[in-house]
Structure 1
Amino acid sequence: MTATSWVEGADDGPFGLDHLPYGVFSTAKDPAARIGVRIGDQVLDLRALATGTFFLPWIRPAFHEHALNGFMAMGPPAWRLVRHQLTELLSDRRHQDQSATLLTPVAKARMHLPFHVADYVDFYASEEHATNLGRLFRPDSDPLLPNWKHLPVGYHGRAGTVVPSGTPIVRPRGQRKSKDAPVEFGPSARLDIETEVGFVVGVGSELGTPVSPDDFAEHVFGAVLVNDWSARDIQAWEYVPLGPFLGKSFATTIAHWVTPLDALAGAKTAAPLQDPEPLAYLQEAARFGYDLRMSVRWNGTEVARPPFAGMYWTPAQMLAHMTVNGASLRTGDLFASGTVSGPEPDQRGSFLELTWGGRDPVAVGEGEERQFLEDGDTVVIGATARSVNGGEIGLGEVSGTILPAVI
């Protein structure tokens, strides 16, 4: 029998016992940032819970920190033990009276970045996205470059510009060049989003020691939704020959809530067949992806529903590739999937694709159309997934509103 929670309304929403994502919050009465777990529309204060004898002594110190890094570094045995204990606490009515005093309504909580970001890597793992961009930028050539089906293409981002959901995004400035015009400097006129899923490393690795894709769950703590904001005009001028830089590094937004990998067990699905067969270090004993059904809302209007299940390169392969040269993992490393796009026009996860380079404006409200983001626009990215008990969980949303460039 599926357990039910004594927290009112929790069983009927996306944040029930099957989910239990972790975040960092504070309140008006207590401004100190601390770790919490979400149940329904409430946050359970794990710092307060750790002051007693509920957790084992070796686990308690992690919940007195101001970010998830200490807990994430403890590894799968601690993650599973705490998840089991929290499920029991929030389902057994014997704990209700005492534990209810440790709940704070989400509406009254101020949310913070859930973990200290050590490094940030962004991949390019959707075949549909890569193909669409190839057709836009290289219409007379093969849309996929020769290396694309041999390795998960990626780049390093700026860990210091990863921000929590709701942080306003200042329109970036940089160099731009139109086809027959001189180089100019100014605010990006082609500001875009990238709808992505990020994975958070809990357990690090030693420098010089590659990580196998089959060890994915031994290192990765959980998943967060990601919006990798992109200034397409700045990016187009700078990216040859070394790839993205200022067109990407000004801001990347992640959700407030980190969904544990165990909460995504019910969303596992067979990943697409790969042809040609990847090299040995990228081969997986049990190849799988995650069936996450994503949603993009632009000023309140849903404009796309990208499917994560179709990603050509899996999260485990991304992890293996970014360590195969001996690069080490650190607690708090964030690696993201790159834009999630599907085969249908309404499944494209960037506005560059959705408007086909600005050629086909998108309706975003009553009588309004957009090609790229304008000042004041708000984008919200969400996702749902099947839970281990056949229900549905909803990953924490990612939102951001565009502010004018600083002149």
Structure 2
Amino acid sequence: MKERDIQDYLFDNPSVLFPSQSVSEKHKEYCVHGKRIDLLFVVNGHTHIIEIKNTTIQCEHIGQIVEYYGLLRDRMGSETLHMILVSPSIPAWRSAFLEEIGIRCIELDFDCLAGIEAGKKLAKDSKQFEKIAKDKQSFASALGRNEPILFEDVAGAASPRGMAYKERALHGTLKILATEFSDYEIMPFGITRASSHDWYIENQTPDNAAEKACRGGVWWAYRFGSANDMPKNDVPNISVIAGETGLDICINAELRPSQKAMLERIEQQPEEFEDLVRKNAELSFKMYAKIEHQPRFYHWIMTSWIMNPSINSNAILSLARNYKESFAVKRTELISGILASNPRISSAQVDHMRSTNKMPNTAFRLTLNLDKSSAYWNMTAIGQVEYLAQKIISLKELINFFVV
């Protein structure tokens, strides 16, 4: 099937793209300031432009698509303009990036689209996209467009205001990071609901032991690699994690493959690692034990917090090794600590903790913390996004070190 056939099909069947909305206008080969648009629909007062490509979306296409979208937004008005990219194949890394900056991605089997089932699947996917977009819009309304986020909005459990900030910050930093990390493709991901089933038990300072469990806050992350050969989570990412101490911007290894990669690189190149850490005096190292209390949800218990300049390769490797060797004893202590600090945990969750968690599970984070005293909380909304992007960029050399 050719691009023209896809164009005709979507033009004749706009309901597969907008299943629960009203299409008031539709155009083919629509021209705007000399730019030809494959399809244009006006839906509930919003303009949707459709770009059709009869090829797999490659890395080199991303910049062209983003530039094209930005140009049309400048010329047609950005508030009510939306773009949909249609292709037989859009790798997950690329669709995640494009959708986070506002370009909806649709994979279509161009050879099978004429079938009824294919149309039904597309309509079903469109309904799911509409739901996600509606959820994001509801979060956005919790925080004024030019309203800066406050420490109190993120220092604690996930909330609608925290989610609005997460959407703003992730969206606003991506284009900056795409330029600064141009050697990589970036795959964004993060919390999707204004609530978390995770709990944190962590120190307020390196010398102040934690006393109570607190609900997990908002978080998001950026994976760096290549869509062609980079399985997810096998190297550390950069995460932004909100909690009672503020925002942690960190090189994050919280799954076993990424922890293995982090520890191996530190062991192989200890002096290079220490040189990179010393370049950023604000860095600290945090280690967490992860105790699962229900499938895929954890109590994150801080077990170590090392401040610069005391971070060194031997200290990190020893912490990881000692925790693994002493886990049989530590496990009992950790579960007892959870029961003492979190009266809200259910009996079913206690049973789950005791019957699982047979192997050590940890998280390692090289962290920049924006605490309550940070000037960040007094910046403008735009200033906060730009400052956050610069903090992430300051971790680039460490990403280069770990993503090899």
Would you tell me which structure has more helix in proportion to its own residues?
2
The higher relative CO (CA closer than 8 Å, separation ≥ 6) is in: 1
TM-score normalized by the length of structure 1: 0.27
What TM-score results when the alignment is normalised by the length of structure 2? 0.28
Point out the structure with max Rg over C-alpha. Answer: 2
